[in-house]
Structure formats: C-alpha cells, structure tokens
Chains A and B, each alone.
Chain A
Amino acid sequence: MTTTQERSVPKPVFTDAEAGAREFPDSNARKFNYFVSAKRKQSHYEDVTVEVQPDPRHYLAQGWLYGFSDGKGGYPLEWTVLKAWGTDRPEPVRGPGSGGQGYEWPAHGWHEFRDPNEEWELTLYRYNANVVRQLNQNIEAAKRAKAFEQWSSNWVQFVAQHIGAWMHVNHGLGLYLFANANRRAPTNMHNNAISVNSMHKIRSAQDLALYNLTLSEEIDGFDGTAHVEAWNSDPVWQGVREVAEQLTGIDDWCEAIFAANIVFEPLIGELFRSNLVQQAAPGNGDFVTPTLIGAEEYDYAERDLRYTKPMFQLLIDDREFAEHNRRHLEQWLAAWVPRCLNAARTLQPLWSLPDAKPPRFEDALDRSKNRFSGILSDMDLRVPKELDQ
C-alpha cells in the first residue's frame, strides 16, 4: 500500500468576521472620519487621497521627524509665496504635558483643494492606457492604409523637424517642472494632481518620439534626428526653448504651475498644437499627426487646466489672503506673458513652411490670446497690459 504525504497548507476556518455579523460600538461606522468632504458625500477619490500627507497643524502630534540641514521637515508652506487661510498661524508647540491637539481640521485652506479629475491610480492608468492604445491603433491603421505616402516632401520635413522638436518641450517640463513640483506642495491632493500632470507631459513626449521612429521606418528620406537639430539650433525654436528652460528654473512651486499651465500652455502650447498643427495637417494630407497632437491637447484642456483652475481659484477667493495672492499672481502674469509672447513670435516662420498654409500667424496668435484672456476672466484675474504688446 502506498501512503500519500499530506501537503502542509493552512486550513480555512469559519470566523464570521464580516460586516454586520454583530452589533457593538462603531459596528456601523464605515466611513473615514478624519476629514470633511468637499461635497455632501465622501468620494472614492477623497478616501484614497486626503490626509495621506500629514500636517503638524492638525493631527501630526509629534511633528515632522526628519529635516533638511536647515531643520525644516515635511512640506513647508513657505515653499510658495502664496497663502491659504490659516497659513500664518504658528505650528502647535509641544512639550511636557502639552497634549497632541492641533487646530481643528483642516487647520488651513490648502487642504480644501480637490482635483476635479479625481485622479488616483485607477483613473490615471485607465486614461493613459486608453490614450496610448488609441494612438497605436491610429498609427497602425495609417501604416496599413499607406497614409504617409500622400505627404509632400515639404510636409515630411515639417513633421520631422518641427513637430519632432515639440517633444523636447514636453519632456523638459514633464520632468523638471511638473515631476519636480510633486515634492513641493503642502497636500497630497496637490502633489498627486501635479504628478499625474507630469506623466501626461512625459507620455506625450514619448508618443511623439515613437511616432517619429515609426515615420523613420515608413517614409523614405524621413530624418529621424532632425528634431534634435531643430531643438538645438534652429532659431525658430530658440525662443520656446529659452522660455521652457526658464520655467524649469522657477523656485516657487505655485509660480511654476501657474506660469506653465495658465500662461505658457495657452500662449505657446495651444498656439502650436491647435492653431498650427491641427490647422495645417489636414490640408497637407496628414490625418495621423492630429490624433497625437489632439490627445495632448485633450490632456491639457480637459485634465491639466481643469485641475489648475480650481487650485488657484481657491487662493484667489481665499477668505484671508485673496488680495495677497492676487497681487502675486498678477506679478507673475506681468513677468511671464511677455516672455511667452516673445517666444510665440519666434515660432512665426513655421506658418509659412507647409505647402498648404494654415490660417495666418497673427490670427492664430489672436485666438490664443483670446483663449488666455478667457481663462483669466474665468478665474477673475485681470488681463495684463503686456498681452497687447
């Protein structure tokens, strides 16, 4: 007779440890109870986001434990000059017998920000996976349809050099402005939204790079390195490059996000994407490039701008520091509008390159300026006189 050795595995046990099995204090308290939701009902997004990054002004009783060499720990509020109500109250002082109470939650206005996109892992992967899947399909379909064969050599060159050059803007801002800023803001809601914004930029940079690779394989004579040359030395791009680099040099995280998403994007990003590429491509027989550029446009207009506006709106309407914040935002507008307008103008020669011309540059710029003014008026900010230059 053979004996079989019994495998050692844990045995399931009936424990009846499911919700509702008994009544006792807290048995029905099945909501996170440490924050106040923005709407009547706590959202799934809030549940996975709010309070993950602590704050010594409300619950963090023992304070931050590790600091930089200057002794500052955590997420100092003074990393931006803007202020939300409550910012100026001192952190609670701890000592023998002090107890652990802070100010009543939220203690200051920064915690009131909620990302209207409600981004967390489930949403961000779903969204970006959909985008890359769709773009892959579009490009595959175009390959099968031999769609690139309709392009004139002039347009081929335009795509290689100038649409290619745009990837560098996205990559630089994605890493050194947006990803960098995800360490700087005082709440998890801000920093998560900013990190998702960063991934949009880095993804769209890679979308363009890989599209460029496909075109090198599909089109005879397509120069897959022309974009580097254009970015490095074509005078048309040097204005944009300079202002993009200057944006990554901003110390104040609010200024960085504001200058990038409220000033640079409408005046240069949308100018290039919506008012140049999207207008020129169809006339030149290109229906593929607009799908990439359109995805990026959607990232900005429907996601990134969508969180940026309420983020600053709270500060503009702040019950304690509205005037203070408005003053700084207007200073930033006065500084960044001329820089971005100058850079926009250096792009002008691009409008005369394609065989089938897009609408005039001045009209395109007017549209971008109108869009920019519209964003400012939505936020109840004054349009700076520098816009008329």
Chain B
Amino acid sequence: MSRQSVAKAHQKIQELSWEPAYHEPVSHYGTDYTFRKAKKKDPLKQVLRSYFPMQEEKDHRVYGAEDGAIRGNMFRQVQERWLEWQKLFLSIIPLPEISAARAMPLLFRTVPNPELHNGQAIQMIDEVRHSTIQQNLKRLYMQNYIDPAGFNSSLRNFQNDYCGTIGRQFAEGFITGDAITAASIYLTIVAETAFTNTLFVAMPAEAAANGDYLLPTVFHSVQSDESRHISNGYATLLMALSDESNHQLLARDLRYAWWNNHRVVDAAIGTFIEYGTKDRRKDRESYAEMWRRWIYDDYYRSYLVPLEKYGLEIPHDLIEESWNQIWHKGYVHEVAQFFATGWLANYWRIDPMTDEDFEWFEHKYPGWYNKYGKWWENYNRLSVPNGHNPIALEDVDYVYPHRCWTCMVPCLVREDMVVDKVDGQWRTYCHEACRWTDAEAFRPTYQGRSTPNMGQLIGSREWETLYHGWNWADIVSDMGFVRDDGKTLVAQPHLDLDPKKMWTLDHLRRCPPLQSPNVVLNEMTDEERAAFQADYNRQGPAGRPAGSVS
C-alpha cells in the first residue's frame, strides 16, 4: 500500500469504535487509577490487512532459518555451556509471553480509549505468536541438540522448580492485581520498554557467539513486534499522567516494577550472558556494559527522565542502586554462584569456569578472582562424583542463603538483607525495596490512601519450605528431574556425558536432609533472630561466612 493509502486506512478503521448504547461490556478488572480528565493519546496504528502478511513474511524467514540450521548441522558448532542455560530460559519465557496476551483485556474497561484497544488486541495475538514460536524453538533444540534432558520435561520443570518460580513473577505480575499496575506499568512501561533489550537483543547476540544463530533469528523476530507494544504503553502512561491523582500510584508502581524487574531479569539474563558463554574476547561487552548502555542510558536517561516534566516521579535512587548492585556489589556473580551451588535442584548442566574464564572476569570486573575465584575452583574440583557430596553440602566457605520473600531470588548481597514480620510471619528480603514491596506497596492502603484494587503476593514463596526435612534424592525424584534410566540426574555440575561421571540419586541419598531457612527462622527466639541477622549482614562477598578474610 502507498503511504497515502496507509494513512487513509488508519483513518478509516477509527470508524470501527463505538460506545455502547444499551448495555455496558462486562467489567472484570479494577484499578485505583482514574482517567476522568485524561486526554486520549493515539498509539501506533496497525491495519490487519498489512499486519498479517507482514507477520507471515517474518515467519518465512524464521522457519527458513530453522530448516537451514538443521541442514547445515548447526549443532556441531553449538556450545553446550550456552545451550544448557537455554533449558532454563526457554522453560520460563513462553509463559510471560502468553501472559502478556492474557493481560491485554485488563486494559479494555480501565483505560477509556477505544483507539488503544485495537492496538492491545494486536499485541494480544503478537504475544500468542511469541509464546508458540519460542515453544517451537525449544522443541527444535530438544530434537537436535545432543542432550534433550531438561528440554523434554521443560514445562513440568519450570512449574515446580525454584528458578521457575523466580521467572514466573515476570508473567504473573502482568495478569493480576490493579489492572494498570499490572498490564501497563509492570508489563509495558518497565518489562517491555526497559528489559526486553537485554532479553531479546543482548542475549541473542551472545547465542550467536556460541554457535547458535537460531535464538537470534527467533528473538529478533519477536523484538520487531516490541515497538508497537511500547507505543501502546506510552500512550497509556501519558493518559495516566494527565490526571494528577494518579501520580502517587505511578510513583509506587514504577518503584515496584523497576526493582522487581531488576532483581529477576538481571539475575537470570546476567547469569546466562556472563556464565553461559564461551566467548571470552576481551572486547566483547560484559553484561554490566550492556546494561549501562541499554537500560541506564537508553531507557532511564532517554525515555524516563524526559517524563519527569509531566509529573512522573522517577525512582532515581533505585535505578542508581541497581547499577550499584551490578557494578559494585557483584549481583550477577552472586546469582550465578548461587545457581551453581544449587545445581542439584535444577534441570540443566552447569559448566565449571576455566582459567580463560577467570581471566576474562578479572579483566571486565577487576577484583573478581579474589572474591569468586576460589569458589569456582572448588566447584571444578567437586564436579565429578568421587566420594564427596555436591558442593552445596561441602565446606567451601559458602553459607546457604535465605530467600527473598518478594522477588524469590536469595538474599545474596548479604549486607542488604532485612528481616520483617509481615502477615504474622518472619520473612527475609534481599533488600529494603523488596520489603517495601511486600509490606507497603501490595496492600489495600498505601500512604494513607485507599487502594482496594491493589494485588497481593500469594503462594508458597519459599521453595525450601516444601522440602523441609527431606532427603535430596527424594526431593529430586519428587520434582521429576531424573533421566530415563531412573537414577541419573538431569542436572550435572559439568558437561561430560559419560554415564560414569554423572551424578545419580544414589549420590544424593547419602547427603544430609534439606532445612528450610524460613522454617528455621520462624522457630528462632527474638535474640536468636537478631543474632542471625547481624551475622548474615556480615557475610559475603561470595557467600563467605561472617568474619572470614576476603
């Protein structure tokens, strides 16, 4: 279509919106935001006559590349270190995608702008696309990569594993609670506008460096839909801003959404990019460098800050603190170390780090070796079963962490951990911002203002509680992370597929039982708890016990 006819087509489809005359559509979702005075903003327009063929054309390229990769034996050049982490990533991501589809109707009745609704419906079907195209990629990996274990049980794994639970927030945050908090601020303004760059651009680039060019093909195709979604969110945000009574809620939601996205996405994607790669060229960007460019400069400085003049209260302190966490407090390294500590409860294999990796880390993050080097040497030493237990149960100067009740990543920057009694239960939080999210933000009143539509944190949020007192062999069997010989674990702390070098249930059987940190915390007296917290805050870096020399 010519540009002129595209413009006319857009104009024409505006005639489709109409206001009800006899019956109101059902109102399933609530919000504490108001749009009474909001001026309507137009999102990017999309006409299905051009949309469907455009998407089909993108599909041709994706599926053509997939056929080509198989014919060209791509898997002969794929790094196992990298593809193992895709067992985690691709078990998580289809759910956030489909949840974004499900989230769209939350906005129909709450944002009174029919012109937006059309864009939201197209986003809905885009997200169906993303979810199924990613499932399909995972299926292809399962069929063609050397080790299908963990891909073949993907969605069961994801649903009962603690890493899945961390990732699941990225989905459930979109579809519940206050409709605007969920489907607009958390999903569109923060998750899509800020964090899809690391998810769908930085990570695919790393995949390509590890011999996998299908992940980039699929995820760049996904990312190409993102600008329309960002435009939907921006139009909604401007409408919300034009009503001053929303400013307090916007400030709250941006704090929560920013911090939660940072905790969850940086934990996962940071680990994949820094610890899942074999590409140790010194001039390739580190996660911290990418984060600085895409999230700090492009999102924070260029997208958020200009909105300040319209009254948007930006969480400058939390954005600076996220950078501080990544750059000074080793957030990504602490998370990767924890995932590797807990390898036995997972469903993928984690490759030990080598001298070449050490050198790269030291180059990119000066001081890295002194903090983490020794532990990774121990990881390597303990990777093949030889009469010892998995590293989590050996003495390697590592204190098993408590979990954050809010973001469910463990409290790994030990000095930041806070304890609070909330809803009658003692809970640990990785940072004050996570305590605030649970104790203050997700409540029916906020700073004295009634917020009856705000959601709740629910569920059995500490994974270890479920297995308190259990033997590790029973835990892993209960979750189903066992291979088809009935005893070899799906997870391994190395990449050697020689069955004699792989861990089995028998190795776990002789380990001491799991203790739930939260159950233990709630059994403490006040003095014990105070002493526990004081000690915990003195631990680290790299999970070292309090008082040890770092």
Q: Which of B162-202 contact A (CB under 8 A)?
A: 162, 165, 168-169, 172-173, 175-178
Residues of the B chain whose Cβ atoms lie less than 8 Å from the Cβ of A32? 139, 142, 152-155
Is the pair B98, A52 in contact by a Cβ cutoff of 8 Å?
yes
1/0 contact trace for B1-45 toward A, CB 8 Å? 000000011001101111011111110111000000000000000
Whether the Cβ atoms of A95 and B132 lie closer than 8 Å is no
CB-defined contacts of B467 to chain A, threshold 8 Å: 97, 99-100
Query: 1/0 per position for B446-488, CB-CB distance to A under 8 A?
Result: 0000001111111111010111111000000011000111001
Q: Mark A12-47, 1 if CB is under 8 A from B, else 0.
A: 111111111110111101111110000000001001
Residues of B within 8 A of A171 (CB): 16-18
Tell me whether B63 and A122 are in contact (CB under 8 A): yes
Interface contact A62-B455, CB-CB below 8 Å: no
Which of B48, B95, B139, B456: most chain A CB closer than 10 A? Answer: B48
**Interface residues in A, total, Cβ within 8 A:** 110
Q: Which of B9, B52, B132, B145 contacts A17 (CB 8 A)?
A: B145
Quote the shortest CB–CB distance from B119 to chain A (angstroms). 11
Interface stretch, picked from A67-75, A265-273, A348-356, A374-382, is A67-75
Query: Of A17, A120, A196, which is within 8 A of B79 by CB?
Result: A17
User: Contacts A19-B143, A182-B105, A213-B12 hold; do A63 and B460 have CB atoms under 8 A apart?
Assistant: yes
The residues of B that contact A227 with a CB separation of less than 8 Å are 15
Number of A-B contacts (CB under 8 A): 385
Asked whether A179 lies within 8 Å of B104 as measured between CB atoms, the reply is yes
- Which A residues, 189 to 213, have Cβ-Cβ distances below 8 Å to chain B? 191-192, 195-196, 198-199, 202-203, 205-207, 209-210, 212-213
Chain A residues, CB < 8 A from B111:
none
Give A217-235 interface residues, CB cut-off 8 Å to B: 224-225, 227-228, 231-232
Among B129, B146, B155, B499, the residue within 8 A (CB) of A125 is B129
Contact B25 A29 (CB under 8 A): no
Interface string of B137-159 (1 = CB under 8 A from A): 00100111111110011111011
Give the interface segment out of A149-157, A245-253, A330-338: A245-253
Identify B121's interface contact among A8, A50, A179, A225, CB under 8 A.
A179
A323: Cβ under 8 A from any B Cβ: no
CB distance from B58 to the nearest CB of A (A): 8
B469/A26 in contact, CB under 8 A: no
B103 at the interface (CB under 8 A from A): yes
Mark interface residues in A80-112 (1 if CB within 8 Å of B CB, else 0).
Answer: 000000000000001111111100000000000
Q: Nearest Cβ in chain B — how far from A212, in angstroms?
A: 7
8 Å CB contact of A202 from B55, B118, B156, B457: B118
A68 CA / B183 CA spacing, docked (Å): 13
Q: Does B106 contact A (CB under 8 A)?
A: yes
Is A51's CB within 8 Å of the partner chain B? Answer: yes
| Inter-chain contact B160/A10, CB cutoff 8 Å | no
A33 & B12 in contact (Cβ 8 Å cutoff):
no
Q: Does B439 sit at the interface, judged by CB under 8 A?
A: no
In the assembly, what is the distance between CA of A207 and CA of B458, in Å? 44
Most buried by B among A18, A65, A133, A209: A65
A residues less than 8 Å from B63 (CB atoms): 122
B24–A249 touching, CB < 8 Å: yes
Contact: A97 with B12, CB < 8 Å?
Answer: no
CB distance from A210 to the nearest CB of B (A): 6
Once A65-B168, A182-B105 are accepted as A-B contacts, the answer to whether A73 and B146 lie under 8 Å apart by CB is no
Q: Are B15's CB and A228's CB within 8 A? A: yes
Is the CB–CB distance between A182 and B101 below 8 Å?
yes
Give chain B residues whose Cβ lies under 8 Å from the Cβ of A250.
26
Question: When A96-B468, A129-B56 are in contact, do A210 and B79 touch as well, CB less than 8 Å?
Answer: no
With CB as the reference atom, state the residue of chain A lying closest to B495. A17
Contact A69-B135, Cβ < 8 Å, known A17-B146, A180-B108, A206-B48 = no
Residues of B within 8 A of A184 (CB): 28
Q: Report if A25-B483 is in contact (Cβ < 8 Å); known contacts: A99-B478, A180-B105, A209-B15.
A: yes
Bound form: Cα–Cα A171–B133 in Å: 27
Give A204 to B353 CA distance when docked, in angstroms.
Answer: 56
Which of A44, A132, A250 has the most B CB atoms < 10 Å from its CB? A132
Contact across chains for B499 and A71 when beta carbons are under 8 A apart = no
Q: Are B124 and A67 in contact, CB atoms less than 8 angstroms apart?
A: no
User: Is residue B49 contacting chain A, with contact meaning CB distance below 8 A?
Assistant: yes
Are B48 and A198 interface neighbours, CB within 8 A?
no
Chain B CB within 10 Å — which of A14, A18, A205 has the most? Answer: A18
CA distance A103 to B461 in the complex (A): 20
Q: Closest Cβ of chain B: how far from A85's Cβ, in Å?
A: 21
* B549 interface contact, C-beta 8 A: no
**With a CB–CB cut-off of 8 A, which chain A residues contact B133?**
121
Question: Is the pair B468, A97 in contact by a Cβ cutoff of 8 Å?
Answer: yes
- Complex contact A183–B155 (CB within 8 A): no
Cα A20 to Cα B106 in complex, Å, equals 47
Stretch of B238-246, B277-285, B414-422, B534-542 on the interface side: B277-285
**B263 sits at the interface (CB 8 A):** no
Q: Which A residue sits closest to B126, measured CB to CB?
A: A121
| Closest A residue by C-beta to B149 | A26
A342 on interface, CB distance cutoff 8 Å: no
Kindly identify which residue among A69, A95, A172, A202 contacts B444, using a CB–CB cutoff of 8 Å. Answer: A69
Instruction: Tell which of B26, B53, B80, B98 touches A251, judged by Cβ atoms closer than 8 Å.
Output: B26
Closest to B54 in A: A129
Q: How far is the CB of B174 from chain A (nearest CB, A)?
A: 9
| Complexed CA–CA distance, A7 and B16 (Å) | 54
Q: Is residue B328 within 8 Å, beta carbon to beta carbon, of the partner chain?
A: no
A246–B469 Cα distance when bound, in Å, is 55
Is the C-beta of B224 less than 8 angstroms from some C-beta in chain A? no
Given A26-B148, A61-B160, A132-B48: A66 in contact with B128 (beta carbons within 8 A): no
CB neighbours of B232 from chain A (8 A): none
B211 within 8 A of A: yes
State whether A210 touches B9 (Cβ < 8 A).
Answer: yes
Bound CA–CA A198/B125 (angstroms) = 9
CB <8 Å contact, B466 and A99: yes
- Are B80 and A15 interface neighbours, CB within 8 A? yes
Residues of B within 8 A of A249 (CB): 23-26
The answer, among A49, A95, A167, A232, for a CB contact under 8 Å with B16, is: A167
- Is A64 part of the contact surface with B, judged by Cβ < 8 Å? yes
- Contact between B458 and A122 (Cβ–Cβ < 8 Å)? no
Interface string of B58-101 (1 = CB under 8 A from A): 01000100000000010111111001000000000011001001
A100 in contact with B47 given A29-B148, A33-B153, A67-B458 (CB within 8 Å)? no
Beta-carbon contact of A199 and B12 below 8 Å: no
CA distance A195 to B544 in the complex (A): 51
A54 at the B interface (CB under 8 A): yes
B498 on the interface (CB 8 Å rule)? Answer: yes
Asked if B49 contacts A210 (CB within 8 A), the reply is: yes
Instruction: Give 22 A-B contacts (CB < 8 Å), ordered by A residue.
Output: A8-B281, A13-B79, A25-B499, A26-B483, A44-B139, A51-B159, A53-B95, A61-B160, A68-B176, A121-B128, A121-B132, A128-B52, A180-B25, A192-B98, A192-B132, A195-B124, A198-B124, A202-B118, A203-B48, A209-B12, A227-B15, A231-B18
Residues of B within 8 A of A (CB): 8-9, 12-13, 15-18, 20-26, 28-30, 47-49, 52-53, 55-56, 59, 63, 73, 75-80, 83, 94-95, 98, 101-106, 108, 117-118, 120-121, 124-125, 128-129, 131-133, 135-136, 139, 142-149, 152-156, 158-160, 162, 165, 168-169, 172-173, 175-178, 208-211, 278-279, 281, 283-284, 408, 444, 452-461, 463, 465-470, 478-479, 483-485, 488, 490, 497-499, 502, 516, 519
* Beyond known contacts A15-B211, A209-B13: 4 more, CB 8 A cutoff: A16-B146, A174-B121, A175-B108, A179-B104
By Cβ-Cβ distance, the 7 closest A-B pairs, closest first, are: A18-B75, A25-B483, A34-B156, A61-B160, A129-B56, A26-B149, A10-B209
